Amino acid sequence: MSQTKILNSGEAPLTGGMLWAAAIILAVANFVAVLDMTIANVSVPNISGALGAATSQGTWVITSYAVAEAITVPLTGWLAARFGAVRVFVVSMALFGAFSALCGMSTSLGMLVFARICQGFSGGPLMPLSQTLLLRIFPKEKAGAAMGLWAMTTLIAPVLGPILGGYLCDEYSWPWIFYINVSIAFVCAFVAWSMLKRYELPLLKNPIDRIGLVLLIVWVGALQLMIDEGKNLDWFASDEIIALTVIAIIGFAAFLIWELHEEHPIVDLRVFRHRGFSISVLTISLAFAAFFGANVLTPQWLQSFMGYTATSAGTATAWAGVFAMFVAPIAATLSNKVDSRRLVFGGVMWLGLATLLRSVATTDMSYWDISIPIMIMGLGLPFFFIPSTTLALASVDEHETASAAGLMNFLRTLSGAFATSLITTLWDDQITKNHAELVGLSDSDQRVRSMLDGTGMTADAVMKSIDGLISDQAVMLATNQIMTAVGIAFIVAATVIWLAPKPKRVVDASASGH
């Protein structure tokens, strides 16, 4: 099907500057949706204090958005087919702006959590639909460039979120982390409708799979709550976490059975019959979990134990995104010329080796000692994300692209959330374990104690100094141990991609998403 045949009202396809203007609008929409996954992370203490809530209650500002978004992302294919991809995108963008404004105007925690839930529901479809529409408006020979633009916003936004959130809270006030979305969202919605309505496709009025929708909400909601609250509630020592786990498992099993036998499923799981898609998504999920885990751990380590401010910790980690931007055009060009599996393998293996390089860190490292390995990681990111996304979507039938994009984004987002909880829990456990082991091994000949005694310090001060030294090393060891595990996870993800068959087609921009 040629691109001109899918256009409405006989309008010509976008070309040149207009094409790239539309692409930027779609990329910005994806950027703000992903940004809001992390922008509130460093702002919870400010928000909790301003609204008179405990910090533990304030974390619901993050959880509520994540749960709502996780539910709507896999629904994108069905929504696009029933109401039109362009219509759903534009309405979602406008609602995202409206609910962002409501978040900023909230006067209580309950009001803010409600607004964040609504914001998550409206923001969920923006990620897969921005991807689907980019493929639809670009000619197939430029699909790699389109994916490169989309991939960069997906990778950079989570890094910039905490930096921007911290800056806005420090320099202005917490509502501005939401207000900045408002004008962007409304402008994007207006311009997107003006430019993209010609690309709307005929609608499929399939009946609503109500049972599938309810089961999806139940198991995804339970799973996301379990992941978000697990660390705070000491995981399976908590009856609440056990109950959520049971609900998630039973709900998922029921959802899987129902959707595979429903004639018009709310989520089209049949796309997983394509081995190329399944393996690509598995690689993306593993590698993104590893990337997100390292990305969450680094600023926590820098702020908690290395004396960095939120801004300086954020800028240190942001170098990966900066360097990735420079390499992205090369990766996008090569993705149309070279076997995608080779690029993915090379990119993810590069990330693994760069992460292993970060596993020999010490407590006296300078800013650049920390930042340079992160820069090196950035060089591999586009070679992982762009060709793996392209390979996944090229492996499904053309009419399944929107459903495939929704499921791919859902699993990627879920893997990032799971990695965040797992990494922070393991890190805390390793710190405690390392501290206990180092106490038994340290200063066995009493040299350090004698040296400190000689300075005139009291016995209590000497003990505190030694414990401080042990604690610093326990944290450093735990950080290096986690980085080693993350590096190995990258290497495993790199090898998995070879289970995918070589794609028989490139992503056809003219037929995606309908």
Query: Residue 508 falls within a domain, yes or no?
Result: no
Q: Looking at the domain assignment, is residue 451 inside a domain?
A: yes
**342 lies in some domain:** yes
Judge whether residue 483 has pLDDT over 80: yes
Domain boundary among 205, 240, 255: 205
What value does the mean pLDDT take over residues 159-169? 78
Its pTM stands at: 0.75
Q: Which of 57-66, 126-135, 165-174 has the lowest mean pLDDT?
A: 57-66
pLDDT digits (tens, 9 = 90+) for 193-246: 888 877 777 777 777 778 888 888 888 888 877 877 777 777 888 888 899 899
Please give the average per-residue pLDDT across 460-485, as a whole number.
80
Residue with more model confidence, 297 or 399: 297
Tokens 């340290």 -> residue: 442
Is the domain of 223 the same as that of 245? yes
pLDDT for the residue 493: 92
pLDDT exceeds cutoff 60 at 487: yes
For residues 189 and 242, state if they share a domain.
no
- Of 328 and 89, the one with more pLDDT: 89
pLDDT score for 486: 92
Report for 84-98, 169-183, 215-229, 383-397: range of highest mean pLDDT: 84-98
* 81-114 pLDDT per residue, tens: 888 888 899 999 999 999 999 999 988 888 888 9
Contact 361, 253 (CB under 8 A): no
pLDDT for the residue 306: 81
Measured distance CA(263)–CA(255) in Å, rounded? 14
Shared-domain flag, residues 284 and 252: no
Classify residue 117: in a domain, yes or no. Answer: yes
What does the DSSP 8-state code read for residue 207?
P
512/392: higher pLDDT: 392
Tell me the residue range of the domain where 389 lies.
274-503
Alpha carbons within 13 angstroms on the beta-carbon side of residue 458 total 3
- In this structure, the answer to whether residues 261 and 296 fall within a common structural domain is no
CA distances from 452 to 1, 144, 212, 466, 474 (A): 79, 62, 67, 9, 21
- For residues 101 and 189, membership in a common domain is answered with yes
CATH of the domain at 26: 1.20.1250.20
Same-domain pairing of 99 and 129: yes
Q: How far apart are CA 282 and CA 127, in angstroms?
A: 19
Number of domains in the chain: 3
- 216 lies in some domain: yes
Same-domain pairing of 304 and 358:
yes
Based on the domain organization, do 382 and 251 belong to the same domain?
Answer: no
Is pLDDT of 273 > 60? yes
Q: Is residue 47 part of a domain?
A: yes
Same domain, 432 and 454: yes
Residue 382's pLDDT is: 84
| Same domain as 466, residue 323 | yes
The verdict on 197 and 313 lying in the same domain is no
User: What is the C-alpha to C-alpha distance for residues 154 and 175, in angstroms, rounded to an integer?
Assistant: 24
Q: Do 286 and 146 belong to one domain?
A: no
Residue 355 lies in a domain: yes
Q: Which of 265, 287, 304 is at the close of a domain? A: 265
Q: Does residue 513 lie in a domain region?
A: no
Name the residue with tokens 């326990």: 474
Report phi then psi at 175, rounded to 5. Answer: -55, -25
Where among 177, 205, 233 does a domain terminate?
A: 205
